[in-house]
Amino acid sequence: MKILCEVQVVNRSTQANKTPRAVKSTLAIGYKQSAKDANGNTKKELEMVLFSGQNKTGNRYKVKDNIHAVHTKFVLDGKATIGFLQPPDNLLIKCDPIQLKGFLQTLKLGMDGKDAINLRLNIAAATAIPQKAQPQVRMVISKRSEYPIKGFPRTLKSLTINNSQLVKLSFEICTLRNLTKLDVSGNKLTKIPAELGRLALTSLHLGSNLLGEQNDWCWLRGTKLSQSLGELDLSGNGLTYFPPPLVKFEALVSLNLNNNLLSRLPFAIRRLHALRKLYVCSNKLESLPSAVEDLRIDLLDVWGNCFKEFNADAAQQMSQQKAASNSPQPLWLLAARAVDKHKLPLPAGSVPAVLIDLICEAPRCPCGELCYAQRKEDLFQRVVQPKFTSIKNLTYSREHQIYADVVLCGSSCSASVQLKELFRIIFS
């Protein structure tokens, strides 16, 4: 068996690095055919050979009774160490996790004296894997006939499957641990497997599919995906609402929701602190949440939406509403406001998760106080005009004035008083 890897060789006796850094290498294991013994039987000795650009003939290591230690604590990260007694070398290996696990399993079988198909390599004639056989890291499929019959290479980092009438994303794709970029735009996907959330993708393109038919967002709850994803394209999927788990993708830099059926964006969008590009053109947005002004967006595209004019009914309702301060505030809201006001740290486990979500996602009153819309009457639609002071580039239809929705913490706050005075002038 042979694998491509990066190896650093350290001599335990002198603590000197035989190779100053990890170098691209070929590691091979197999049996060496020795001379026949007195009974006429051919002896087989298990050997390991390390080929590198500096040593093309290879360093040979006897395996039987010559293994000092094998460290596999970080094998899932593609790292392992094999130490030999003679010479006293440690091989620090970095490789694809799947290939590395297979190599270590083959080593164990050989040490146990078991025969395996991976050990049938004639180690005496083994050579390094040529450069042209380097692991494949990128694959582009533009039609069904190009789909790999033998499966996808485990070393893939980028996979593109466009306009191939794909109706289901195979589970095999969700097991490609090295994958960081996935583009399956222009297909007929209605659902994404939950296992995709286990991949540490940085770029995911799902545009022009049918994900709005089932609205199944379980895959967005994957911890790895939510921590790593920086670019997401969900354009042209018939979405009628903003996917709720998406507000926790705090590493997201670019979000494309163009050509959907969205009528509103959540106040919790303010949690996307890293967001710099937001595309929501050609939807059915009537207004934007005031929380958009909490973001530092370089580009906001809201062209082709149905922004409605100032909501006079809501304004009149607000002016006639009784003072909210007369009703007691719930304890959890008071606790959240206290934590937010004093900027207390939120270490995991010390504060209930529901309180953390409330602090990170609840809307804010224009006065700056943390709010929570407990009733329908607490949400006032299209009652303020956003200033967009933190947005560098804004693209919108000039014939539609953009209004924002707000939630007020109480009619006694300064923002509420100012708004009521404005409404009094309008209706007088």
| pLDDT (mean) for 348-360 | 76
User: Does residue 253 share a domain with residue 175?
Assistant: yes
For residue 66, count CB atoms less than 10 angstroms from its CB and return exposed for 0-12, middle for 13-18, buried for 19 or more.
middle
Asked if the structure places residue 243 within a domain, the reply is yes
Domain of residue 241, CATH code: 3.80.10.10
Domain that residue 96 falls in: 2-125
User: Does residue 23 share a domain with residue 49?
Assistant: yes
Q: Are 371 and 408 in contact (CB under 8 A)?
A: yes
**What would the pLDDT profile of 278-301 be if each residue is shown by its tens digit?**
999 999 999 999 999 889 999 999
Asked if the structure places residue 367 within a domain, the reply is no
Asked if the structure places residue 182 within a domain, the reply is yes
Residue 420 predicted with pLDDT over 60: no
User: Does residue 191 share a domain with residue 113?
Assistant: no
**What would the pLDDT profile of 220-243 be if each residue is shown by its tens digit?**
999 999 999 999 999 999 999 999
Top mean pLDDT of 34-38, 286-290, 336-340 is at 286-290
Tell me the pLDDT band of 19, cut-offs 50, 70 and 90.
confident
Q: Are 270 and 368 in contact (CB under 8 A)?
A: no
Q: Three-state SS across the chain? A: CEEEEEEEEEECCCCEECCCCCEEEEEEEEEEEEEECCCCCEEEEEEEEEEECCCCCCEEEECCCCEEEEECCCHHHCEEEEEECCCCEEEEEECCHHHHHHHHHHHHHHHCCCCCHHHCCEHHHCCCCCHHHCCCCEEEECCHHHCCCCCCCCCCCEEEECCCCCCCCCCCHHHCCCCCEEECCCCCCCCCCHHHHHCCCCEEECCCCCCCCCCCCHHHHCHHHHHHCCEEECCCCCCCCCCHHHHHCCCCCEEECCCCCCCCCCHHHHHCCCCCEEECCCCCCCCEEHHHHHCCCCEEECCCCCCCCCCHHHHHHHHHCCCHHHCCCCHHHHHHHHHHHCCCCCCECCECHHHHHHHHHCCECCCCCECCCCCHHHEEEEEECCCCCCCCEEECCCCCCCCEEEECCCCCCHHHHHHHHHHHHHHC
Domain of residue 105, CATH code: 2.30.29.180
137-171 as b/e: b if 16+ CB within 10 A:
eeeebeeeeeeeeeebbbbbbebbbbebebeebee
Q: How high does pLDDT run on average in the chain?
A: 85
User: Does residue 99 share a domain with residue 27?
Assistant: yes
User: Does residue 94 share a domain with residue 17?
Assistant: yes
Q: Is the N-terminal amide bond of 153 cis, ω within 30° of 0?
A: no
User: Does residue 206 share a domain with residue 115?
Assistant: no
Domain endpoint, select from 211, 227, 261: 261
* Structure confidence at residue 56 (pLDDT): 84
Tell me the pLDDT band of 411, cut-offs 50, 70 and 90.
low
Report the distance separating Cα 8 and Cα 362, nearest Å.
Answer: 51
Take residue 366 and report the two structure tokens written for it: 């224009």
Asked if the structure places residue 349 within a domain, the reply is no
Domain endpoint, select from 125, 152, 181: 125
Asked if the structure places residue 364 within a domain, the reply is no
User: Does residue 200 share a domain with residue 86?
Assistant: no
Residue found by looking up tokens 């990890």 in the block: 22
Q: Are 205 and 182 in contact (CB under 8 A)?
A: yes
* Structure confidence at residue 42 (pLDDT): 66
User: Does residue 155 share a domain with residue 117?
Assistant: no
Report the distance separating Cα 95 and Cα 80, nearest Å.
Answer: 9
User: Does residue 17 share a domain with residue 66?
Assistant: yes
* Structure confidence at residue 286 (pLDDT): 92
Domain endpoint, select from 125, 154, 179: 125
Residue 383 predicted with pLDDT over 50: yes
Report the distance separating Cα 280 and Cα 43, nearest Å.
Answer: 71
Residue 426 predicted with pLDDT over 50: no
Take residue 246 and report the two structure tokens written for it: 């998406």
Residue 325 predicted with pLDDT over 80: no
Sign of CA dihedral 36, 39, 40, 44: negative
Residue 376 predicted with pLDDT over 50: yes
CA angle 395, 380, 315 (to 5 degrees): 105
User: Does residue 243 share a domain with residue 146?
Assistant: yes
More confident residue, 414 or 153: 153
User: Does residue 70 share a domain with residue 37?
Assistant: yes
User: Does residue 37 share a domain with residue 8?
Assistant: yes
Asked if the structure places residue 391 within a domain, the reply is no
More confident residue, 176 or 344: 176
Say how many domains are in the chain: 2
Asked if the structure places residue 37 within a domain, the reply is yes
The alpha carbon of 248 is separated from its chain's Cα centroid by a whole number of angstroms, namely: 11
Residue 322 predicted with pLDDT over 50: no
Tell me the pLDDT band of 131, cut-offs 50, 70 and 90.
low
* Structure confidence at residue 141 (pLDDT): 93
Asked if the structure places residue 257 within a domain, the reply is yes
